[in-house]
């Protein structure tokens, strides 16, 4: 039995290392301008809307929002970090970090309740593979890193599922 304790600790260390590696790779891929396609008008709207309301004393009536604004889950994730920087480029990077951490932890919570530690590690590796595709601007995987898209609703659903079975 003493063999399993170091094995479980090494799995936790590997999970943390892999998450930090993903965040580092996201930063490198982002700062080397591999994510140029993120700055189209639909995705910038979310940031500019908050900027106008909070800092420019604008009003929500001044905006014509796109037909399906998914502000509800994204607002709670994004709004506290909005005050860290007003630079829209770094706001995208912070949001992508948050999305990676939330996806990673929601998958870990769900899998750890039903499966072994090794199975959880394999599922996290598969989830990380999806993010590696997102870093290469592969559609539709890159949508996982952008706010105001359906992916944050998926993350909220995954957390609710994890809490329900916890």
Is 43 in contact with 148 (CB distance < 8 Å)?
A: yes
pLDDT at 9: 78
Q: Would you say how long the chain is, in residues?
A: 166
pLDDT at 105: 85
Distance CA 60, CA 50 (A): 10
CA 39 from centre of chain: 17
Q: Which residues of the chain have pLDDT under 70?
A: 1-8, 33-43, 65-73, 75-77, 146-153, 162, 164-166
- pTM exceeding 0.75: no
The CA distances from residue 147 to 14, 47, 99, 100, 132, in Å, are 28, 9, 9, 12, 18
The CA distances from residue 73 to 88, 103, 159, in Å, are 19, 13, 12
Helix (H, G, I), strand (E, B) or coil at 56: coil
**Residues 84-129 pLDDT 10s:** 887 777 877 888 888 888 888 888 888 888 888 888 888 888 888 8
Burial of 103 (0-12, 13-18, 19+ CB in 10 A): buried
Give the start-to-end residue ranges of the domains of the chain.
4-165
């Amino acid at each position: 039995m003493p063999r399993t304790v170091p094995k479980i600790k090494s799995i936790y260390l590997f999970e943390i290392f892999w998450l930090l590696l993903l965040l580092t790779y996201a930063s490198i891929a982002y700062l080397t301008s591999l994510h140029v396609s993120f700055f189209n008008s639909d995705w910038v709207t979310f940031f500019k809307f908050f900027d106008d309301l909070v800092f420019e004393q604008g009003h929500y009536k001044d905006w014509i929002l796109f037909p399906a604004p998914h502000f509800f889950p994204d607002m709670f994730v994004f709004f506290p970090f909005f005050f860290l920087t007003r630079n829209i480029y770094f706001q995208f990077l912070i949001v992508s970090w948050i999305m990676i951490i939330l996806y990673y932890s929601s998958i870990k919570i769900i899998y750890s309740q039903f499966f072994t530690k090794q199975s959880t590690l394999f599922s996290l590796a598969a989830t990380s593979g999806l993010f590696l595709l997102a870093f290469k601007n592969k559609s539709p995987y890159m949508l996982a890193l952008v706010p105001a898209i359906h992916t944050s609703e998926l993350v909220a659903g995954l957390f609710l599922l994890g809490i329900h079975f916890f």
